[in-house]
């Protein structure tokens, strides 16, 4: 969950490293550091806190080194501090390392290294790796020392190492992403494509168990198991503009405001409206296998898990296949009966989520068909699944996911139509849904146009300490997502419930002024949910409703109403989620919270 960067080339390394770290700040912001060469000595500068603190420290620092590494940290082992910040050294301050991941056997390794005379300065598992490489560097080249050291390691890592003795960078990955960037006589290595976009679009993703050696002449990739790996680079289609704020105060607001285009991008080139059919290029080779599946297991974490819960309703309704949705972190440890007629579908924005990746690998060990819905091209889940679908919505920078969630929903609907058309779904039913999906971008724009109104509602409630979100059927997962968004970015305690469950416990919390957000479009369970709101009002709670029109029923039981356009009942979640995203955003903004970088969280959770 940290960001790593390395550079070797003809330009000064420091400005490149700092600019790259800025692009990865959403991955971690507990501390940051850089390592460079000066007068044949290793110079390390690192500070706890956000990157700007380090940049101030380096304001008057002059350095001409054309090789260096950098790191931005989200702490796992060792509290955030100047000392525990990366990079980490060996005993002689000749070798340095930046690391993303967790070394699970670091305690055992550390004890062994101490017996051999190594002196440790920090609490981190990453420093253990630096000393382990040092131990094997005495009679070997740097890449050989790295290879031997990694053979002793249990856990996950994405690393970059360099030494004063050799003008090269050595990078490696296992369970944590590493990508190379190539540009003429400049070579980059990072944990995130976003870090490379200011400099190059030509990239190469390291596979599991690979080591890259970059020097001033080029690069080479070898395998931990032996032998060289030869692959071509690929061109990233994200633009630098896509990772800039475009005048918005926060990436989160920018990404919410992009959601109409997100729907368009997620559908583009995939819908054959007149036939009621869907074509995904990534599924062409498995279309016959899809006809044979009789069960779908969806594995995901966080917001992606809630997209999976909506998929459960949608696929069971349109396809008539049983669907289970499991937290990937639980699925990997369950004794789940799997067979060749099962499909395991992983949903992950980054395509690097450690628990979701582990779930996919478990499925593959059982010879089960695996799919991925991911946004990052070339990510590990995209490469390791049997087939998959890209979101193609550009980078999502804010830690709290918004536009990726909407895209995941769109792709879920398209996938359900594809599977349904193989089974019971009629052409006319499919056309009706697809036609309405095509209309959603304009309807989304009518919701985002209400941002100032939603901000005024936020003004009434931003000082509350607790919220409850409720919904029924497809909008129960939206209630869960609404509560998660508020928790993530405003630090207000919030819970999501099925509306019918209020009277089975949560109603005890309602007192005068207690805010309840109700996702209540005028669907088949509209009047049922009105009854639940009556229960809240009878106890003097405050009700914020998201619905289609302010009729007499809703006026009676609400304090504030956000109006969304009508659509097919099955598509409501794409519209109902947008007001709850905006409400969370404006509440967090009024509370002065760091919206794009909430405390204790990171965008891509690449450790267990």
Extended beta strands in 104-259, E state: 155-163, 166-174, 179-183, 186-190, 202-205, 210-215, 218-223, 228-229, 234-235
How far from the centroid of its chain's Cα atoms is residue 82's Cα? 27
CA distance 304 to 309: 9
How far from the centroid of its chain's Cα atoms is residue 154's Cα? 24
User: Parallel, antiparallel, or unpaired: how do β-strands 88-89 and 95-103 relate?
Assistant: antiparallel
Give the chain's end-to-end CA distance (angstroms, integer): 10
What residue has token string 């490696």?
172
Q: Are residues 68 and 13 in contact, defined by beta-carbon separation less than 8 angstroms? A: yes
3 state SS of 222: strand
Reference 460, options 534, 563, 561; nearest CA is 561
Set 201, 443, 485, 603: catalytic member: 603
Reference 252, options 591, 484, 594; nearest CA is 594
What residue has token string 């000064």?
12
CA distance 46 to 67: 17
What residue has token string 């924005």?
349
Q: Are residues 130 and 95 in contact, defined by beta-carbon separation less than 8 angstroms? A: yes
Set 2, 168, 301, 403: catalytic member: 2
Q: Are residues 204 and 234 in contact, defined by beta-carbon separation less than 8 angstroms? A: yes
CA distance 197 to 5: 12
Angle at 106 between CA 104 and CA 112, to 5 degrees: 140
593 catalytic per annotation: no
Tokens of 480: 């869960």
Q: Are residues 113 and 124 in contact, defined by beta-carbon separation less than 8 angstroms? A: no
Dihedral angle computed from the Cα positions of residues 489, 264, 442 and 412, in that order, rounded to the nearest 10 degrees: -70
Reference 411, options 520, 299, 320, 282; nearest CA is 282
Tokens of 595: 């919206």
What DSSP string describes 65-113? -SEEEEEEE--SSS-SSTTTSSPEE-TTSSEEEEEEEEETTHHHHHHHH
Question: Beta-carbon neighbour count of residue 231 at 10 Å?
Answer: 11
Tokens of 452: 């100032």
Radius of gyration (Cα) for the chain, nearest Å? 25
2 catalytic per annotation: yes
3 state SS of 145: helix
Q: Are residues 426 and 320 in contact, defined by beta-carbon separation less than 8 angstroms? A: no
Tokens of 329: 């972190």
Q: Are residues 158 and 606 in contact, defined by beta-carbon separation less than 8 angstroms? A: yes
- The residues that are catalytic are 2, 603
């Amino acid at each position: 969950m940290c960001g790593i960067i390395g550079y070797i080339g003809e330009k000064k390394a420091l400005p490149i490293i700092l600019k790259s770290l800025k692009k990865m700040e959403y991955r971690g912001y507990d501390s940051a550091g850089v390592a460079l060469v000066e007068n044949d000595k290793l110079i390390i500068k690192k500070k706890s806190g956000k990157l700007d603190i380090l940049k101030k420290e380096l304001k008057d620092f002059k350095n001409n080194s054309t090789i260096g590494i950098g790191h931005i940290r989200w702490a796992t082992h060792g509290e955030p501090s100047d000392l525990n910040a990366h990079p980490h050294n060996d005993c002689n301050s000749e070798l340095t390392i930046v690391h993303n991941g967790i070394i699970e056997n670091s305690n055992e390794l550390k004890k062994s290294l101490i017996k051999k005379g190594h002196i440790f300065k920090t609490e981190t598992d990453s420093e253990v790796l630096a000393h382990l490489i040092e131990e094997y560097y005495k009679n070997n080249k740097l890449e050989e020392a790295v290879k031997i050291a990694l053979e002793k390691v249990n856990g996950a890592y994405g690393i970059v190492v360099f030494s004063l003795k050799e003008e090269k960078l050595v990078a490696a990955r296992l369970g944590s992403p590493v990508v190379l960037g190539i540009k003429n006589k400049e070579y980059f290595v990072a944990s995130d494509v976003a870090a490379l976009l200011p400099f190059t679009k030509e990239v190469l993703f390291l596979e599991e168990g690979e080591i890259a050696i970059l020097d001033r002449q080029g690069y080479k990739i070898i395998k931990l198991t032996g032998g060289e790996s030869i692959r071509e680079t690929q061109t990233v289609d994200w633009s630098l503009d896509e990772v800039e704020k475009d005048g918005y105060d926060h990436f989160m607001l920018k990404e919410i405001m992009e959601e109409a285009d997100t729907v368009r991008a997620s559908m583009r080139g995939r819908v054959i409206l007149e036939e009621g059919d869907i074509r995904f290029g990534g599924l062409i080779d498995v279309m016959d296998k899809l006809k044979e599946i009789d069960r779908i297991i969806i594995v995901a974490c966080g917001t992606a898990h809630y997209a999976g819960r909506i998929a459960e309703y949608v696929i069971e309704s349109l396809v008539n296949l049983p669907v289970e949705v499991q937290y990937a972190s639980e699925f990997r440890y369950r004794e789940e009966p799997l067979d060749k007629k099962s499909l395991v579908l992983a949903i992950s924005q980054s395509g690097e989520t450690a628990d979701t990746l582990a779930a996919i690998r478990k499925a593959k060990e059982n010879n089960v068909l695996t799919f991925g819905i991911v946004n990052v091209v070339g990510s590990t889940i995209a490469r390791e699944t049997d087939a998959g679908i890209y979101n193609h919505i550009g980078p999502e920078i804010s830690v709290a996911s918004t536009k990726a969630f909407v895209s995941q929903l769109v792709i879920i609907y398209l996938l359900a139509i594809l599977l349904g058309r193989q089974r019971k779904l009629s052409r006319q039913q499919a056309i009706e849904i697809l036609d309405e999906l095509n209309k959603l971008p304009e309807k989304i724009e009518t919701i985002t146009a209400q941002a100032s109104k939603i901000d005024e509602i936020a003004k009434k409630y931003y000082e509350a300490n607790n919220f409850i979100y409720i919904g029924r059927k497809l909008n129960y997962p939206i209630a869960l997502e609404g509560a998660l968004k508020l928790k993530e970015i405003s630090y207000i305690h919030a819970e999501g419930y099925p509306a019918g469950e209020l009277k089975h416990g949560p109603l005890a919390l309602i007192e005068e002024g207690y805010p309840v957000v109700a996702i209540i479009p005028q669907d088949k369970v509209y009047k049922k949910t009105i009854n639940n709101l009556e229960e809240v009002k009878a106890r003097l709670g405050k009700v914020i409703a998201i619905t289609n029109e302010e009729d007499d029923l809703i006026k009676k039981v609400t304090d504030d109403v956000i109006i969304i356009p009508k659509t097919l009942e099955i598509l409501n979640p794409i519209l109902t989620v947008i007001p709850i995203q905006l409400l969370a955003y404006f509440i967090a903004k009024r509370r002065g919270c760091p919206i794009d970088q909430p405390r204790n969280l990171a965008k891509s959770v690449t450790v267990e």
